[in-house]
């Protein structure tokens, strides 16, 4: 029921939001926006071709990335550091910068106490607004190319517009969360007296310090911007970050709100509503299947408790106030989008339930990250059109423009990147035990490593935990994966759209392949499943599948966990 409500609410809100977004990105720059941009010396009216747009996108991200890296590396000596938090180690700083400029929020540093206020404010929070805006801007540049426009827009204008959209949306969500009791204050930490005194390492502890702050605001953009990095270490599992079932519902909805709204917007923006509907349908079928898989799996008791009379669903690592369904739903949708926030521990899911987040991230376009999820799917649209187009007896074309060698080269490069980085680094990591620190051996250990790179590639940021990941090896390799997986899959499709826009569009006739039919949608789905999931089948068989079979097999109960 909760699950149905979450989807229904998200779709009901996504449609008007989508219409709003489509209008916003179709309209000329408002006087306010262009005036604002002129202050920074940017001409918002200057149109850019795909190369200029891509260069602007890459250039600003490099600048921001370097600035963030320097900030983390030098925070010890910078202002707004009352607690005297030291500089981050170079590799941790590198990974953190890479993680936050790629809309990933994968955290290898440990919690709130590693970053100064300046780092939190400028290096983290600002980026949580900027990076989804960059994704949204990139999407509209690609869409303009697909509309046949060789000038794909103005990057700075697009980013500003997107930020202008995210700020009020976050404000509304923050108010809603505050109403549920999420802290929204600038006052200092609260101290509470423990009801029962505890003894920790020989010392009596009678009070507890509860950190508060502008939590609601931070959580709002964390969810709406498919960011995922929480205020507190355990993310939305913490009662202060996600106190009630209602706050859980708000947050669940906002995880998929923008990704869904952007698909609606894309359909309208391309003036191809049926195509938009087809894409939403494909995404929703995958989403529903994965969510259902997770929910059913988590309703099964934990294998360690099997046979016990009281065994109900798998409650290990779950909050009692949410239960198995809401936690399974969250685990499914947070990895279908590139969000990565959690309200329970994915590591403690039953093995097949833990497979669901992995699958969601391998696909990386079940709704997907803001902007980039749809861009990812467009790569598969192009590949599907290439094969389906041949089957109707024409050289393949998308919206009347021929898909030829150059486009296929770029698309091939993009789909090659995922197995190269994810499988390559997973294999290297498990093959070189001297430099890795796996807390778990065996099937589960393999799952953890695979998960980490998978999460990095999907720019998701959720973790399987239990991984000692703040080492130079993990930091550097993950940074490489994060950056390549963010920018190549943006720039590649941007180039494809740019090249397509330069071609003459053939008029669409009854002999033209239509991309908005159920048959095409079905083929798109199959191509995505075949080309993405099959690549990872062997790794998944050795990881979660073998683990599940081991756990459920009577001889080996509890062997590796």
Partner 1 sequence: MTALPNLPAPNPAPTPAKKSLFAPEQVRNALRSSVTKLNPRSMARNPVMFVVLVGSALTLYLTLANIATGKSWGYEAAITVLLLLTVLFANFAEGLAEARGKAQAASLRAAREDTPARRLIGGTLTGTEETVPSTRLTRGDLIVIEAGEIVAGDGEIIEGLASVDESAITGESAPVIREAGTDHSGVTGGTRVLSDRIVVRVTSQPGESFLDRMIALVEGASRQKTPNELALSILLAALTLIFLLVVATLPLMARFVGVEVNVVTLVALLVCLIPTTIGGLLPAIGIAGMDRALQANVIAKSGKAVEVAGDIDILLLDKTGTITIGDRQATRFAPLPGVTEAELAHAAALSSLSDPTPEGKSIVALAAAQGIKPTAPNNADWIEFSAQTRMSGVDAGEISIRKGAGSAVSRLTTERGGRIPPELQATVDEVSRGGGTPLVVLSGTHILGVVALSDIVKPGMRERFEQLRRMGLRTVMITGDNPLTAEAIAREAGVDGFLAEATPEDKMRMIKEEQAAGKLVAMMGDGTNDAPALAQADVGLAMQSGTQAAKEAANMIDLDSDPTKLIEVVEIGKGLLMTRGALTTFSIANDVAKYFAILPALFAAQLPVLAPLNVMRLNSPESAILSAVIFNALVIPALIPIALRGVRYTPGSADALLTRNLLVYGLGGIVIPFIGIKLIDLLLGVIGV
Give the binding site for partner 1 (CB under 8 A): 383, 386-396, 400, 403-405, 407-409, 411-413, 415-416, 419-420, 423-424, 426-428, 430-431, 441-443, 445-446, 504-507, 509-514, 517, 519-520, 522-523, 526-527, 530-531, 534-535, 537-539, 541-542, 545-546, 549-550, 553, 556
The pair of three-digit structure tokens given for residue 523, joined into one six-digit string: 């083929």
CB 485 within 8 A of CB 458: yes
Q: Which is nearer to partner 1, 156 or 464 (CB)?
A: 464
Q: Which of 520, 349, 379, 523 is nearest to 447 (CA)?
A: 349
Q: Which is nearer to partner 1, 87 or 557 (CB)?
A: 557
CB 361 within 8 A of CB 482: no
Orientation angle between helical segments 372-391 and 472-501, nearest 10 degrees: 50
Q: From the CB of 178, what's the least distance to partner 1, in Å?
A: 46
Separation CA 35–CA 55 (nearest Å): 23
Q: Which is nearer to partner 1, 331 or 489 (CB)?
A: 489
- Give the DSSP H or E segment for 31: helix 31-39
Q: Which is nearer to partner 1, 84 or 507 (CB)?
A: 507
CB 92 within 8 A of CB 470: yes
Q: Which is nearer to partner 1, 81 or 560 (CB)?
A: 560
How many C-beta neighbours within 10 Å does residue 556 have?
Answer: 11
CB 381 within 8 A of CB 407: no
Q: From the CB of 147, what's the least distance to partner 1, in Å?
A: 15
Phi, psi of 553 (to 5 degrees): -75, 130
Q: Which of 95, 51, 50 is nearest to 72 (CA)?
A: 95
Q: Which of 459, 447, 453, 465 is nearest to 353 (CA)?
A: 447
Q: From the CB of 442, what's the least distance to partner 1, in Å?
A: 6
- Would you state the torsion angle of the CA atoms of residues 291, 294, 300, 301, taken in this order, to the nearest 10 degrees? -130
Phi, psi of 410 (to 5 degrees): -65, -45
Q: Which is nearer to partner 1, 185 or 526 (CB)?
A: 526
Q: From the CB of 522, what's the least distance to partner 1, in Å?
A: 8
Separation CA 192–CA 279 (nearest Å): 51
Q: Which is nearer to partner 1, 465 or 516 (CB)?
A: 516
Separation CA 228–CA 207 (nearest Å): 30
Q: From the CB of 549, what's the least distance to partner 1, in Å?
A: 4
Separation CA 399–CA 288 (nearest Å): 29
Q: Which is nearer to partner 1, 80 or 392 (CB)?
A: 392
Q: Which is nearer to partner 1, 370 or 523 (CB)?
A: 523
Q: Which is nearer to partner 1, 243 or 400 (CB)?
A: 400
- Would you state the torsion angle of the CA atoms of residues 526, 528, 532, 535, taken in this order, to the nearest 10 degrees? 30
Q: Which is nearer to partner 1, 79 or 393 (CB)?
A: 393
Q: Which is nearer to partner 1, 305 or 505 (CB)?
A: 505
- Per residue, the 3-state secondary structure of 266-285, as one string, reads HHHHCCCHHHHHHHHHHHHH
Q: From the CB of 531, what's the least distance to partner 1, in Å?
A: 8
CB 222 within 8 A of CB 229: yes
Rg over alpha carbons for the chain, rounded to the nearest Å, is 23
Q: From the CB of 150, what's the least distance to partner 1, in Å?
A: 15
Q: From the CB of 441, what's the least distance to partner 1, in Å?
A: 8
Q: From the CB of 428, what's the least distance to partner 1, in Å?
A: 8
Q: From the CB of 503, what's the least distance to partner 1, in Å?
A: 8
Q: Which is nearer to partner 1, 139 or 513 (CB)?
A: 513
Separation CA 561–CA 551 (nearest Å): 8
Q: From the CB of 295, what's the least distance to partner 1, in Å?
A: 22
Which residue in the block uniquely carries the two structure tokens 């890795």?
436
Q: From the CB of 546, what's the least distance to partner 1, in Å?
A: 6
The pair of three-digit structure tokens given for residue 420, joined into one six-digit string: 């190269």
Q: Which is nearer to partner 1, 299 or 503 (CB)?
A: 503
Q: From the CB of 193, what's the least distance to partner 1, in Å?
A: 49
Which residue in the block uniquely carries the two structure tokens 């941007």?
494
Separation CA 553–CA 237 (nearest Å): 32
CB 401 within 8 A of CB 508: no
Q: From the CB of 336, what's the least distance to partner 1, in Å?
A: 23
Q: Which of 446, 420, 560, 484 is nearest to 436 (CA)?
A: 446
């Amino acid at each position: 029921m909760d699950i149905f409500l979450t989807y229904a609410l998200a779709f009901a809100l996504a449609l008007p939001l989508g219409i709003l977004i489509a209008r916003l990105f179709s309209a000329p720059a408002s006087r306010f926006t262009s005036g604002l941009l002129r202050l920074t010396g940017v001409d918002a009216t200057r149109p850019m071709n795909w190369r200029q747009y891509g260069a602007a996108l890459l250039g600003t991200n490099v600048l921001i990335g370097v600035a963030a890296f320097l900030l983390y590396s030098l925070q010890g000596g910078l202002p707004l550091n009352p607690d005297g938090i030291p500089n981050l180690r170079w590799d941790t700083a590198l990974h953190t910068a890479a993680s936050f400029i790629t809309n990933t929020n994968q955290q290898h540093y440990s919690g709130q106490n590693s970053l100064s206020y300046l780092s939190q404010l400028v290096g983290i929070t600002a980026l949580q607004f900027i990076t989804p805006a960059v994704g949204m801007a990139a999407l509209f540049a690609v869409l303009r190319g697909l509309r046949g426009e060789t000038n794909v827009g103005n990057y700075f204008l697009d980013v500003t517009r997107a930020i202008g959209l995210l700020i009020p949306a976050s404000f509304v969500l923050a108010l809603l969360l505050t109403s549920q009791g999420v802290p929204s204050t600038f006052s200092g930490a609260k101290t509470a007296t423990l009801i029962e005194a505890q003894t920790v390492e020989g010392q009596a502890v009678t009070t507890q310090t509860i950190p508060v702050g502008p939590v609601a605001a931070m959580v709002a953009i964390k969810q709406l911007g498919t960011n995922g990095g929480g205020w507190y270490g355990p993310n939305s599992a913490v009662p202060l970050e996600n106190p009630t079932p209602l706050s859980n519902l708000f947050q669940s909805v906002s995880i998929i709100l923008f990704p869904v709204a952007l698909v609606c917007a894309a359909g309208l923006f391309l003036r191809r509503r049926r195509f938009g509907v087809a894409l939403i349908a494909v995404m929703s079928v995958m989403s529903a299947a994965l969510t259902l898989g997770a929910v059913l799996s988590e309703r099964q008791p934990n294998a360690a408790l099997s046979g016990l009379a009281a065994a109900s669903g798998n409650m290990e690592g779950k909050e009692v106030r949410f239960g198995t369904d809401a936690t399974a739903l969250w685990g499914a949708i947070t990895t279908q989008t590139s969000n990565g926030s959690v309200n329970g521990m994915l590591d403690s899911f039953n093995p097949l339930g833990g497979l669901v987040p992995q699958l969601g991230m391998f696909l990386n376009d079940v709704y997907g990250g803001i902007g980039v999820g749809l861009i990812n799917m467009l790569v598969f649209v192009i590949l599907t059109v290439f094969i389906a187009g041949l089957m109707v007896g024409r050289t393949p074309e998308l919206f009347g423009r021929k898909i030829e060698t150059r486009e296929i080269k770029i698309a091939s490069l993009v789909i090659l990147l995922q197995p190269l980085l994810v499988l390559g680094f997973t294999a290297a990591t498990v093959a070189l035990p001297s430099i890795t620190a796996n807390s778990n051996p065996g099937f589960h250990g393999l799952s953890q490593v695979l998960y980490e790179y998978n999460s990095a590639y999907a720019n998701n940021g959720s973790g399987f935990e239990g991984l000692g990941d703040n080492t130079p090896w993990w930091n550097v390799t993950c940074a490489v994966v994060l950056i390549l997986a963010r920018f190549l899959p943006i720039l590649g499709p941007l180039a494809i759209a740019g090249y397509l826009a330069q071609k003459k569009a053939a008029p669409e006739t009854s002999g033209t392949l239509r991309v908005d039919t159920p048959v095409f949608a079905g083929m798109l789905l199959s191509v995505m499943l075949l080309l993405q999931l099959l690549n990872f089948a062997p790794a998944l068989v050795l990881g979660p599948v073998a683990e599940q079979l081991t756990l459920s097999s009577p001889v080996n109960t509890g062997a590796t966990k």
